[in-house]
Amino acid sequence: MAPHERATALCRFIDASPTPFHAVEECARRLKQAGFARLEEAQSWKEAPPRAFVARSGSLVAWDASRASALEGGFRIVGAHTDSPNLRVKPRANAGAAGIRQLGVEVYGGVLLNSWLDRDLGMAGRVFVRAGASVEPRLMRVDRALLRVAQLAIHLDREVNERGLLLDKQLHLAPIWSLGRPAADLFEGFLAAELGCEVRDVVSWDMMLHDVVPARTLGLHDEFVAAPRLDNLCSCFCGLEAFLQAPAREAARAVPVLAFFDHEEVGSTSNRGAAGPLLKDALERVVLQQGGGREEQHRAMARSWFVSSDMAHATHPNYREKHEPEHWILLGGGPVIKINTNQRYATDAEGEALFARTCEAAGVPFQKYSHRSNLACGSTIGPITAAALGLRVVDVGNPQLSMHSCRELCGSADPDHMVRALAAFFSEAV
């Protein structure tokens, strides 16, 4: 696949995935298409096919244990997160003032608040709907321009350009969506109409807002991808593409695994976050399914590698002073190996060597990121996974600008770079 085709495919993946739930279902659709079986956690996996996956809400683990000599090399895992910072609808959503109906929203993760202003927003997520004596989850998405967080006019905020924009998360982010009467345009009624059910059957929801403008390439020569949720759907996309093209080599010694987690942006502590037991339990069940026991499980883990793929900061041309001078990161310059001696990234020299050599084997350029010593460094699922599972972990990611903006920017050549690097990792080129 040519790099620009890969960038376009990334755009379609992002458009299909306005929420972690949709991202998981899009991955599931493509895995099923490629012959992977969807397993349920509550059922027996003893007779399950060796190429399979399991999904838990916004998280997913997939593996290919079909090779005869697999597990001799442990697991080769690519991990990423499915969630992105955004605005989410509160349980008692109906609000408004001054004749305008609004929705109450909560800020999820480290949102660049200003980036959500004056954008045409849609809404997506899942709703639990009464079905007889129980409830069932229904995925839904509305891509038409439905909501807007309107910014205050400059005439009413004269010094905004000199003093900077200050936004109060409680007071200034409620989106407007109707001029209807308070009793008429209720959020529950909207959900029921969209889902084709009765209002009284709407029980609860995980609903969030998204930019309705599709992802697309940008630039004089289409050098960039402008899209929401690049952090971290770009890594999910690249991991999935590489996983699906991993060759069925008889000589393969390791089991390729994908591990996509929800809730990274809020600390990973949940039943399906990277700090939970989802991956550990799935790997253990794969070992059991292969006829192994605890001894084989521990030996497999000791031989395993986990590549934690999350987006990296490209050097911003307008803010060069925010970046480490000897570590400028270029858009289009290939995957970034992230190194932080304080373990904000899990990479050590062994992991750095593994990933550098893997890129070399794939013929892909790579870069090394180091944070400025006088700035607090972000983190990833890498250190969390390393601590929870005791695996060798290397933190990598594609470079981007505008991280955590409603609309981010990366290089259009880099998705293909990362796919090739991760494919080489899965096929044990090193």
List of residues contacting Zn ion (CB under 5 A) = 231-232, 310
The residue (of 232 and 270) whose beta carbon lies closer to Zn ion is 232
The residue (of 241 and 264) whose beta carbon lies closer to Zn ion is 264
Nearest distance in Å: CB 222, Zn ion: 24
Q: State the CB neighbour count (10 A cutoff) for residue 269.
A: 11
For 222, phi then psi, to 5°, come to 55, 40
Measure the CA–CA gap between 243 and 235, rounded to whole angstroms.
Answer: 12
Q: SS3 sequence, the chain?
A: CCHHHHHHHHHHHHHCCCCHHHHHHHHHHHHHHCCCEEECCCCCCCCCCCEEEEEECCEEEEEECCCCCCECCEEEEEEEECCCCEEEEEEEEEEEECCEEEEEEEEECCCCHHHHECCCEEEEEEEEEEECCEEEEEEEEEEEEEEEECCCCHHHCCCHHHHCCCCCCCCCCCCEEECCCCCCCCHHHHHHHHHCCCHHHEEEEEEEEEECCCCEEECCCCCEEEECCHHHHHHHHHHHHHHHCCCCCCCCCCEEEEEEECCHHHCCCCCCCCCCCHHHHHHHHHHHHCCCCHHHHHHHHHHCEEEEECCEECCCCCCHHHCCHHHCCCCCCCCEEECCCCCCCCCCHHHHHHHHHHHHHHCCCCEEECCCCCCCCCCCHHHHHHHHHCCEEEEEECEEECCCCCCEEEECCHHHHHHHHHHHHHCCCC
The residue (of 122 and 382) whose beta carbon lies closer to Zn ion is 382
The residue (of 231 and 241) whose beta carbon lies closer to Zn ion is 231
The residue (of 26 and 231) whose beta carbon lies closer to Zn ion is 231
Nearest distance in Å: CB 378, Zn ion: 8
The residue (of 310 and 395) whose beta carbon lies closer to Zn ion is 310
The residue (of 82 and 297) whose beta carbon lies closer to Zn ion is 82
Nearest distance in Å: CB 117, Zn ion: 22
CA distances from 155 to 98, 141, 160, 172, 176 (A): 19, 36, 10, 17, 20
Nearest distance in Å: CB 121, Zn ion: 21
Nearest distance in Å: CB 371, Zn ion: 15
Give Cβ neighbours of residue 108 (< 8 Å, ≥ 6 apart): 83, 85, 86, 87, 88, 208, 265, 266
Nearest distance in Å: CB 308, Zn ion: 10
Nearest distance in Å: CB 83, Zn ion: 8
The residue (of 231 and 416) whose beta carbon lies closer to Zn ion is 231
The residue (of 26 and 395) whose beta carbon lies closer to Zn ion is 395
The residue (of 211 and 310) whose beta carbon lies closer to Zn ion is 310
Nearest distance in Å: CB 362, Zn ion: 23
Nearest distance in Å: CB 110, Zn ion: 10
Nearest distance in Å: CB 355, Zn ion: 18
The residue (of 85 and 276) whose beta carbon lies closer to Zn ion is 85
For 51, phi then psi, to 5°, come to -110, 105
Nearest distance in Å: CB 95, Zn ion: 30
